[in-house]
Structure 1
Amino acid sequence: MGGDPTAGGGAPHVVRQAPADAAPAPGSRVSYTVRDGVADVRLDRPDKRNALDPAMFAGLVQAGERLRDDPAVRAVVLSGNGRSFCAGLDVAAFEAMTTGEHTRPEEAGSSAGPARSLGQRAAHVWTELAVPVIAALHGHAYGGGLQIALGADIRLAAPDTRLSVMEIAWGLVPDMTGTQVLPELVGRDVAMELTLTGRVLDGVEAARLGLLTRVEADPLTAAQALAAEIAGKNPDAVRDAKRLVNLAGRTGLAEGFAAEQAAIRRLIGSPNQVEAVHAQQSSRAPRFTDPV
C-alpha cells in the first residue's frame, strides 16, 4: 500500500460529481462513464494525488464489479484525475500505524476469488473483467497505486511518470497482490530488487524492465484511442483472447492448447465472427452484438 509521503467510501458514481458546495457523495473517490463500449474510470481525489483511503478502495472495487457485470462494456481505461495517477496510501494511515489506530487489512468478503482483503480486491478486480483494462499513468504511481496499475492488462505512461514499490520505505511489504504479480512482469530478481529498495523509476526505465507496456507523451489520449480500437473488434474474440493469454504460464500446455481449440470452435461461424468477415470484405465498420 506504500504511498508518497507528500500526499495526503462507497459506490462509484457515473458522469457527474456532487456540487462543489455539497458534502461529497458516497463514492466520489471514483467516477466513470461508459460511451461507445469504452468505460472511462477515474480515480478522483486530485487534491491528494488520488491517495488511497477506505473510500477509494471501496470505490475501485465497486466500479470494477459493476463494469465486470456490464455486457455493453468492451474495454476499460483506468486513469487518475489531477497531477498523478495515484500516490499510494494516504499518509494519514501511516501516522495512524505508529499509534495503533490503523487496523490491519480485513477480508472484503465480496468475492470467492483469491483476493480477499479490500486492498487486494481494489487491484485484482480489474483482472476479473472479461474485457481489456488499459491503465494510463502520469505523475506518480507509488505503492498501492502501482499495484492497482498492475491489475490492468496494458499500462501506458508518460516518460516522466514516477513509479515505485514504495512499501519498504514505510517498513512494510506490498499487500495488494504486488508480490505475486510483479515477478511475472519483470522477473523474480528485478521484482526482488524493486521491492527491497523501493527505488523510484521513471517511465522509460519502467518500460525497459517490462513494468509498462510502453511510454506515451499523452498516455490518457493513447489509452482512449487503443480502447476505442479494441471496442471496434469482435467482442467475443476480444474476451476469449484476454482469457487465453492470461492462461499462459498459469496452466499446463495441454489445458492451454485445449482452451484455444474450444475458443476457435465457438467463434467460427458465430454471428459476430460472420459480421467481422462481412465488414472486412465490404470495407465498412462492423456492427457487433454485445454478449447477454
Structure 2
Amino acid sequence: MDYQHIEVERKKDVVVVSLHRPNKLNAVDKIMFDELVHVSKYLKKDRGLRAVILKGTGDNFSSGLDFKSMMSNKRYAVQLLFKWWPGNANQAQQVSANWRKLSVPVIAVIEGYCWGAGLQIALGADFRICSPNANLSIMEAKMGLTSDMAGSLTLREVMRKDLAMRISMCATPLDGKTALDYGLVTEVNDNPMQAAEQLCQQIENTSPDVTAAIKHIYNRYWTAPAWKLLAYETYSQIRIMIGRNFARTQAALRKKSSPDFKQRQRFW
C-alpha cells in the first residue's frame, strides 16, 4: 500500500507505522487522518499480525494538528467530526480508538514532541515508551478547544482524574519522567524503539489467542461491572482451550521447546 503521510513497514509479524511529515514535525493533516484510519482497519483483519509499533519519522512523534492545513478547507472539520450515531467514533476519534480495537498489542514509541493530536494518537496504544527528553502535552486548551480524539478513553484508565483534568485544562508540557510519574506513559527508556522491539519479542513467545483475549478483556471490561468481566474471562478461556494454539503450547511445554504458533483465532 502506498501512503503519502505515513510509512508502513512489516518486519515478519510486526508492523511499524510511522507518522511521516518530518518537515512539519509530523503534524497531523487530513491526509494523515485518512491514512491512519485506513491502515488501522486494514491491520485489524490481519490474523498473522503479532504487534504494531507506532512512531514518528525523525526525532519527534508529532507536534499535533496542522491547523493551517486543516483550516484551508471548511469541509475537513465536517468530515472529521461527523458521525451517524453519537456513541460511535468519528474519523477524528478513530485515529486513536481504532488501535484499541486491534487484537494485538500496539506500542507507541515517543521521542521529541508529542502534542495535541499526536498525543491523542499515542493514547490509543496499549503501551507508550518514551525517551527522557520527550515533551508530551494535551495541547488543545491552548488552541481554544477541548480534546476530542478519544484519548480520554485511555486517560480515565491510566491517570488520576484530578491530574488528567489539570494537564488538559492547562495544556501542561510533561517530560518523560513526569509523564511516567503521572501514569501517562508505560516506560522511559534512552532507546525507546529498541525497548519496543524487545517487548514485541516477549509478546511473540506467547499464544496470539492469549494476547488477543487479554487485550479485549482489559479494554472492554476494565471498568465494567464485575459480572461482565467474570463472564468474558470464562468465555475467553474456553475459546482458548479449544483452539489449536493451546494444544501447541502444551506440547511445547512437554518437549521444553518453543511453540510453533498458528494464526490467531478468527474469534478475536
Report the Cα distance in structure 2 between the residues aligned to 1:105 and 1:138, rounded to whole angstroms. Answer: 31
Equivalence for 1:16: none
Report the Cα distance in structure 1 between the residues aligned to 2:169 and 2:130, rounded to whole angstroms. Answer: 23
Report the Cα distance in structure 2 between the residues aligned to 1:229 and 1:111, rounded to whole angstroms. Answer: 40
1:195 maps to which of 168, 179, 192 = 168
Equivalence for 1:64: 40
- After superposition, the Cα gap between the structure-2 partners of 1:200 and 1:105, relative to the gap in structure 1 and judged at 3 Å, is farther
- Letter paired with 2:110: L
Report the Cα distance in structure 2 between the residues aligned to 1:143 and 1:121, rounded to whole angstroms. Answer: 15
Cα deviation, residue 114, structure 1: 4.2
Equivalence for 1:35: 11
Q: Does 1:282 align with 2:258?
A: no
Once structures 1 and 2 are overlaid, which stretch shifts more, 79-88 or 274-283?
Answer: 274-283
Report the Cα distance in structure 1 between the residues aligned to 2:85 and 2:45, rounded to whole angstroms. Answer: 15
Contact 2:222 2:229 in 1 (8 A): no
Residues 189-268 of structure 1: pairs in structure 2 closer than 5 A: 189-268=162-241
Paired residue secondary structure (1:106) = helix
Report the Cα distance in structure 2 between the residues aligned to 1:112 and 1:230, rounded to whole angstroms. Answer: 36
Q: Does 1:78 align with 2:51?
A: no
2:77 maps to which of 75, 83, 104 = 104
Q: Does 1:146 align with 2:119?
A: yes
Cα deviation, residue 233, structure 1: 1.5
Contact 2:16 2:54 in 1 (8 A): yes
2:147 maps to which of 167, 174, 185 = 174
For residues 190-223 of structure 1, the C-alpha deviation after alignment (integer angstroms, 9 at most, x for no partner) is 1110111001000110011100011111111111
Aligned residues with identical type, % of pairs: 32
For residues 138-171 of structure 1, the C-alpha deviation after alignment (integer angstroms, 9 at most, x for no partner) is 0111001000001001111001100001111111
Q: Does 1:52 align with 2:15?
A: no
Report the Cα distance in structure 2 between the residues aligned to 1:63 and 1:111, rounded to whole angstroms. Answer: 22
Equivalence for 1:270: 243
Report the Cα distance in structure 2 between the residues aligned to 1:248 and 1:116, rounded to whole angstroms. Answer: 18
Contact 1:47 1:82 in 2 (8 A): no
Report the Cα distance in structure 1 between the residues aligned to 2:244 and 2:22, rounded to whole angstroms. Answer: 44
Report the Cα distance in structure 2 between the residues aligned to 1:186 and 1:107, rounded to whole angstroms. Answer: 27
> What is the CA RMSD across the aligned residues, in angstroms?
2.3
Contact 2:80 2:92 in 1 (8 A): no
The alignment's TM-score, normalised by the length of structure 2, stands at 0.91
Richer in helix (by share)? 2
Contact 1:67 1:129 in 2 (8 A): yes
Report the Cα distance in structure 2 between the residues aligned to 1:130 and 1:270, rounded to whole angstroms. Answer: 16
Equivalence for 1:131: 104
- After superposition, the Cα gap between the structure-2 partners of 1:84 and 1:156, relative to the gap in structure 1 and judged at 3 Å, is same
Paired residue secondary structure (1:61) = helix
Count of matched residue positions in the alignment of Structure 1 and Structure 2: 265
The alignment's TM-score, normalised by the length of structure 1, stands at 0.84
Once structures 1 and 2 are overlaid, which stretch shifts more, 142-151 or 68-77?
Answer: 68-77
Cα deviation, residue 101, structure 1: 5.2
Paired residue secondary structure (2:79) = coil
Once structures 1 and 2 are overlaid, which stretch shifts more, 100-109 or 38-47?
Answer: 100-109
- Letter paired with 2:93: Q
- After superposition, the Cα gap between the structure-2 partners of 1:221 and 1:166, relative to the gap in structure 1 and judged at 3 Å, is same
